[in-house]
């Protein structure tokens, strides 16, 4: 299962970078979305795929029992989801404002214009 998910992460990163290098600014936003999903899946894979009990400490014990799930990757993914949503929202508004101001969606045209 790790191999399949590692290949999916690689494909998501490749597609995201490909879209970031495209000429359309709308494709740039979709590339950012794919990169954020790939990063979330990578953090998820780094935490492990084993089914385990929640990391609850029994009364009187110092550590949780064996076979518990690590909550750190889950917290990191939640944080990454919030950050990626904010970046995507900002990029979408930036694309909309750029399209309204210039009337073009091509990166080369925007780079060569003096407006």
pLDDT tens, residue by residue, 36-95? 999 999 998 888 777 767 777 878 888 777 777 778 888 999 999 999 999 999 999 998
- For the ranges 6-20, 68-82, 98-112, the maximum mean pLDDT occurs at 6-20
Residue 90 inside a domain? The answer is yes
Residue 87 inside a domain? The answer is yes
Q: What is the mean pLDDT of residues 4-31?
A: 93
Query: Is the CB of residue 25 less than 8 Å from the CB of residue 95?
Result: yes
Residue 99 inside a domain? The answer is yes
Residue 39 inside a domain? The answer is yes
What are the DSSP E strand ranges found in the chain?
A: none
Residue 9: name the closest of 47, 35, 48 by CA.
Answer: 35
| C-alpha span between 115 and 110 (Å, rounded) | 8
Q: What is the mean pLDDT of residues 25-39?
A: 93
Q: Tell me, what's the pLDDT at 69?
A: 74
Q: Tell me, what's the pLDDT at 38?
A: 96
Domain that holds residue 91: 2-50+70-112
Residue 61 inside a domain? The answer is no
Residue 82 inside a domain? The answer is yes
Q: What is the pTM of this model?
A: 0.78
Say how many domains are in the chain. 1
């Amino acid at each position: 299962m790790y191999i399949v998910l590692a290949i999916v992460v690689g494909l998501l990163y490749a597609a995201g970078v490909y879209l970031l290098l495209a000429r359309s600014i709308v494709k740039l936003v979709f590339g950012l979305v794919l990169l954020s999903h790939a990063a979330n899946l990578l953090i998820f894979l780094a935490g492990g795929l084993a089914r385990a009990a929640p990391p609850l400490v029994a009364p009187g014990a110092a550590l949780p029992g064996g076979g518990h799930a690590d909550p750190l990757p889950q917290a990191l993914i939640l944080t990454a989801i919030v950050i990626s949503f904010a970046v995507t929202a900002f990029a979408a508004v930036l694309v909309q404002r750029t399209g309204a101001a210039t009337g073009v969606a091509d990166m080369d045209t925007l780079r060569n214009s003096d407006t």
